[in-house]
Amino acid sequence: MHNPRHLTPVALDADWRDQLRSVISDGASLLKELQLSPADVGLSEEACADFALKVPRAFVRRMQAGDPRDPLLRQVLASTDELVAAPGFGPDPTGETGSANPRAGIIHKYRGRLLLVVASGCAVNCRYCFRRHFPYSDNRNSRREWQDALDYVRDDASISEVILSGGDPLVAEDDHLAALCQDIAAIPHVQRLRVHSRMPVVLPDRVTADLLDALSPPGVQTVMVVHSNHANELDQSVGRAFGRIRERGMTLLNQAVLLAGVNDSEDALVALSESLFAHGALPYYLHLLDRVQGAAHFEVEALRARELHAGITARLPGYLVPRLVQEIAGEAAKTTLPALPRKA
């Protein structure tokens, strides 16, 4: 059972900006909160220097004190495993630079939709993040430059969906999001606005009425895709945030990443799908790990992934089974992994 009393008292009902400013950003402080030592978990200051440790206290309070194998802790702790070189792992595993990045702030890989890099920062730094080496400094836009990016969308009538991403787009202020979403909704051929964010899970107080107003301009359907990998991430505060999203008529989906030591068991994946649905979100994608440099220790082999997916397919109703997918650079869409043959 979780015991949130181990945490140093913090104002978890504070404004989301205050919570974002008070995130834990060093391993020693995180481990002190959890009554652990660096030797317990393989904490690496060198890994922190390469990719900063960052986690909101609202997320830390869902971790189990004294458990070095806590699945939430494993996702955010900078460890010595990240320093091991692994063949096939590199800085751009999904092919988002070069021709897929035609101008600052735009990633355009798939026909009919493109992604806007709205913010470079996140509320949490997940150690398996496929954009941990992304050139954010080359993709920052002023408000005027955002109009140039939107001109790119206006000039391509094949684009029916615009995706707000980052970093995490919800790090941006409400007024910026509102102006951007209104401009997107005014483009006649754009039908849907999709928002990819981990903040409703890791910092649920971000989901305010003003934010939802900003993300709900008339003229487009809004889809919110959140990111949760383990049932322990989902508590009452997350459920309330999900409820506010659904009350606005937004479609609420979840994408997860299959991660060794976090959710690589049938029981963990079944519990995640069941908890997501109980809190109001529909499981959407289960991703194989994107092979980003520094994250090889999270990889689950494709055959094992297919075995796990077959197992949860046998245990869950179809609407609770996420699609098992892999993103391959240069492909026209995400690749769905084939189901294993049924045993005779």
Coil vs helix vs strand at 319: helix
Q: How many C-beta neighbours within 10 Å does residue 5 have?
A: 8
**Is 122 within any annotated ligand binding site?**
yes
Q: How deeply is 28 buried, as exposed, middle or buried, from its count of CB atoms within 10 A (0-12, 13-18, 19+)?
A: middle
What is the phi/psi pair of residue 313, to 5°?
Answer: -65, -35
Read off the tokens for 53: 């440790």
CB 295 within 8 A of CB 261: no
Of 201, 253, 195, nearest in space to 76 by CA: 201
Q: Known binder of ligand: residue 181?
A: no
3-state secondary structure of 236: helix
Q: Give the helix/strand (H/E) hosting 70.
A: none
Q: What is the largest CA-CA distance in the chain?
A: 62
Q: Which amino acid is at 212?
A: L
Cα–Cα distance for residue pair 217/153, rounded to 1 Å: 17
In terms of Cα–Cα distance, which of 106, 216, 96 is closest to 164?
A: 106
List binding-site positions for [4Fe-4S] cluster. 122, 126, 129
List binding-site positions. 122, 126, 129
